[in-house]
Structure 1
Amino acid sequence: MNIPTDLSSYIRVLKLASTPDRDEFTQISLVAGAGIMLVGLLGFVIFVIMQFLPGGV
């Protein structure tokens, strides 16, 4: 592990990073929220199916 090389790589990445503007943040939030809702819906559907199967929860 070469610490000076690793540190310079981290600094280079931080220099390239920027704060998203309002539109970009809104779009990212909507996509992340939709993903969370989709995973929750999938879990709920699996729960409901397990309720109707014999030996379910």
Structure 2
Amino acid sequence: MDVPFDLNSYVRVLKLASTPSWEEFSRVALIAGAGVALVGLLGFVIFLLMSFVPGAGL
């Protein structure tokens, strides 16, 4: 494990990285939020099914 080589490669990646524009950030945040909402909705639907179907839950 060559530590100076590893540090140089990390610095090179950080130099290539840039902050996203507001449009790109908002689009990624919107897609991530939609994914979280979809997973939450799916969990809620499963909860409702487990609550109303006899013998499906504990």
Tell me the TM-score normalised to structure 2 length: 0.85
How big is the shift at 1:24? Answer: 0.6
Unpaired runs of at least 5, structure 2:
none
- Are 1:3 and 2:3 matched, yes or no? yes
Structure 1 residue runs of 4+, over 4 Å off?
A: none
Tell me the TM-score normalised to structure 1 length: 0.86
Q: Deviations over 1:27-54 (max 9, x none)?
A: 0111111011011011101111111233
How big is the shift at 1:4? Answer: 1.1
Q: Percent identity?
A: 65
Unpaired runs of at least 5, structure 1:
none
Aligned CA RMSD, in angstroms, stands at 1.3
Amino acid in structure 1 at the alignment position of 2:4: P
